[in-house]
């Protein structure tokens, strides 16, 4: 397959070169950061950091170190594969070949675009299955986190695929139709449809989608339920209820979260969390989550996502009209069918390459939000209980206590353990 650069315009050649440079730079930086993380964790594996002495055992610290190293090595291999796959779909002509197969079979109507995109996701999903299997049944199993059976894994795969088709095909069809029928401002109408769809999913997820994968039972621990209710009332919040999710059937990891919007908003505890934390610690964790609502972190994040998605649709609206956008990424534009589906797929493939380097900015804002939520928890509950809960979760989830500073700045959405506990100590 001939690279597009050999048969393209100057604009196409320039964009091709930029895409290749950023793609390889992204892979190089990912591997370099992973190498730094591995080096840092290995250097501190032999001893528990001073700040955690007496709280985290040496065996737990070393287990977390080994888990982190295994994750990073797996991540580097997966990143290399993803890069090869990206280049295969684009400049080496994979998407162009798929288009030449699909278009004659489906004609030039709306179904052409839908079938092309679904075929792409089907092939891409199949190529990613070995990585998912290895992560779940080798890496997670090796460190005692995987509780999923092969049957449950297959069930989840089938169910998520069916739900994806039911929820995704209608919005996909609407966007493709708008691209062809709504004129030069199609991207604005498409964004409005996409935004409404996203908000609908937020409402549907806790009451319709999530129960298809997990069982949610009302919290039965009377003491914890009363404390949680009192805390919510004290903080001026309401929720549909408190639920316990059977997360243990898939993983030994623990978590708690708020989900939903409006009347569908609810508090969910993993069943694994209830077995690991005391009522005092659970109250402190819940107070932290309430801190995110107090400071409107969730609302701000939703607004930011909507703004960025509007910008993305506007850019797509412009790029979809540029011949060089297609040729630079290895695709020959259709002459007998609309190019809307090709534009969507190419934008989806190339977009992460051009946005990768803003990831540290988003991570920085997220860490700031976590510090604020921790401070709020210290005001509404006992800061020492939150501190001890975090220590327990760090240990049980095998979270490294000695990450590389630059790696953490680039990726971590939560502050590293040392920084977070120091901040908590300053609050109490």
Q: What share of residues in the chain are helix, strand, coil (percent, to 5)?
A: 75, 5, 20
| Residue 294 is assigned to a ligand binding site | no
Q: Is the pTM of this model over 0.85?
A: yes
Residues labelled catalytic: 289, 374
CB 342, CB 391: distance < 8 Å: no
Q: How confident is the model at residue 386 (pLDDT cuts 50, 70, 90)?
A: very high
Q: For 231-256, what is each residue's pLDDT tens digit?
A: 888 888 776 778 899 988 888 887 77
Task: Tell whether 400 is covered by a domain.
Answer: yes
Task: Tell whether 61 is covered by a domain.
Answer: yes
Task: Tell whether 247 is covered by a domain.
Answer: no
Collect all residues with Cβ–Cβ distance below 8 Å to 230 and sequence separation of at least 6: none
The stretch 144-152 carries a mean pLDDT of 92
- Count how many domains the chain has: 1
Residues facing 232 on adjacent strands:
none
Task: Tell whether 32 is covered by a domain.
Answer: yes
Rounded distance between C-alpha atoms, residue 205 and residue 362, angstroms: 24
Q: Which helix (H) or strand (E) holds 257?
A: strand 256-259
| Residue 292 is assigned to a ligand binding site | yes
Task: Tell whether 135 is covered by a domain.
Answer: no
Token pair of 174 as six digits: 């609407």
| Residue 370 is assigned to a ligand binding site | yes
Token pair of 254 as six digits: 């623990």
Q: For 250-299, what is each residue's pLDDT tens digit?
A: 888 877 777 766 666 778 888 888 888 888 998 999 899 889 888 999 88
Task: Tell whether 308 is covered by a domain.
Answer: no
How many Cβ atoms sit within 10 Å of the Cβ of residue 286?
A: 26
Task: Tell whether 274 is covered by a domain.
Answer: no
Task: Tell whether 83 is covered by a domain.
Answer: yes
Which residues form the domain of 412?
A: 1-102+287-294+319-427
Q: For 29-76, what is each residue's pLDDT tens digit?
A: 999 999 999 999 999 999 999 889 888 999 999 999 999 999 999 999
């Amino acid at each position: 397959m001939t690279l597009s650069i050999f048969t393209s315009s100057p604009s196409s050649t320039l964009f091709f070169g930029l895409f290749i440079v950023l793609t390889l730079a992204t892979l190089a930086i990912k591997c370099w950061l992973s190498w730094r993380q591995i080096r840092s964790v290995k250097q501190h594996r032999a001893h528990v950091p001073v700040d955690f002495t007496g709280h985290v055992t040496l065996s737990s610290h070393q287990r977390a170190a080994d888990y982190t190293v295994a994750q990073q090595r797996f991540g580097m291999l997966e990143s290399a594969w993803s890069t090869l796959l990206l280049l295969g779909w684009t400049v080496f002509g994979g998407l162009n070949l798929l288009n030449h197969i699909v278009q004659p079979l489906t004609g030039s109507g709306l179904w052409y675009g839908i079938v092309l995109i679904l075929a792409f996701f089907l092939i891409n999903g199949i190529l990613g299955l070995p990585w998912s299997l290895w992560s779940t049944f080798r890496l997670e199993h090796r460190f005692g986190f995987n509780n999923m059976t092969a049957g449950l894994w297959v069930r989840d795969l089938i169910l998520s695929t069916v739900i994806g088709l039911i929820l995704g095909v209608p919005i996909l069809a609407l966007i493709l139709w708008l691209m062809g029928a709504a004129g030069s401002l199609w991207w604005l109408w498409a964004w409005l449809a996409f935004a409404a769809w996203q908000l609908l999913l937020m409402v549907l997820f806790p009451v319709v989608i999530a129960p298809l994968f997990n069982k949610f039972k009302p919290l039965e621990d009377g003491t914890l339920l009363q404390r949680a209710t009192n805390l919510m009332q004290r903080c001026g919040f309401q929720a549909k209820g408190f639920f316990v999710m059977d997360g243990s059937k898939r993983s030994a990891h623990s978590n708690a979260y708020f989900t939903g919007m409006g009347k569908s908003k609810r508090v969910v505890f993993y069943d694994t969390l209830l077995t690991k934390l005391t009522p005092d610690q659970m109250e402190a964790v819940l107070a932290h989550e309430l801190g995110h609502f107090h400071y409107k972190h969730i609302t701000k994040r939703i607004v930011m996502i909507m703004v960025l998605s509007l910008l993305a649709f506007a850019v797509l609206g412009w790029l979809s009209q540029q011949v060089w956008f297609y040729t630079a990424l290895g695709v020959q534009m259709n002459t007998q069918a609309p190019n809307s589906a090709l534009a969507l797929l190419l934008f989806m493939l190339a977009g992460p390459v051009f946005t990768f380097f803003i990831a540290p900015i988003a991570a920085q804002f997220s860490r700031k939000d976590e510090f604020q939520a921790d401070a709020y928890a210290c005001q509404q509950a006992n800061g020492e209980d939150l501190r001890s809960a975090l220590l327990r979760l760090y240990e049980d989830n095998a979270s490294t206590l000695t990450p590389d500073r630059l790696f953490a700045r680039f990726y971590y959405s939560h502050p590293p353990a040392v920084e977070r506990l120091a901040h908590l100590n300053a609050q109490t």
